[in-house]
Amino acid sequence: MDGGGISHIESEMNVASAATAVEAVQALNPIEALLLGFNTNPYFIGIMMLLLNLGGRFLAMEITKEQEKFFQNPWFRRVLIFVVIFVATRNVFVAFWMALVIIIIIGFVFNENSALYILKPSVKGGAEKFQNQGAEAVAAAVSPLTPEEADIHKKLSEKLARAQAAAFEKQPIGQKAVVSSYDIYQMNMMKLGGSS
């Protein structure tokens, strides 16, 4: 026998194993054959994953407070990431490594409370830039205020400065002293209380 004989035997074995698989599917009853078709249909699997994602939030309505505490455990959430990836890939090895990468990225690299957070504002050159822009730029860069909150803060600061200047001007010349923001607050509260 030469090399051609071995390949002929291998091809006969492949045909035999394929025939065995077809016979096994035909041996199934019609319900099992239908279910096997659903189990391997990528469109059906995709629709089921979509329904799982859309309807999953309603499962939480049946969970007790104690069970909810368990689900809030960081380790459980990490295992859940692995499970979701495993269901999508159906490969434990790939799911493990993908889950590990995602956990590192979400839990450390893009987590502002982590020491490994990469989106921190750079410190180099920051001092010179802020010296030229003033205190408002420093406050805007450091504080986590939204633009609306920053606008309100600016307006209140301007109002406070005007009120301090007006209070300072009302005092007699020999008695002018620095007016505290608490005094201005008290005056405004008395005005508000008297107008209602």
What are residue 7's phi and psi, to 5 degrees?
Answer: -65, -30
pLDDT tens-digit readout, 19-72 = 566 566 566 677 887 878 877 888 887 778 777 777 777 777 788 888 888 888
Q: Tell me, what's the pLDDT at 1?
A: 47
CA 109 to chain centre: 12
In single-letter form, the type of residue at position 80 comes to L
Strands (E) located in the chain: none
Name the residue ranges covered by the structural domains of the chain: 146-195
Mean predicted confidence (pLDDT) in 150-171: 80
pTM of the model: 0.40
pLDDT tens-digit readout, 78-129 = 988 888 888 888 888 888 999 999 999 988 898 888 888 888 776 555 545 5
Q: Tell me, what's the pLDDT at 41?
A: 80
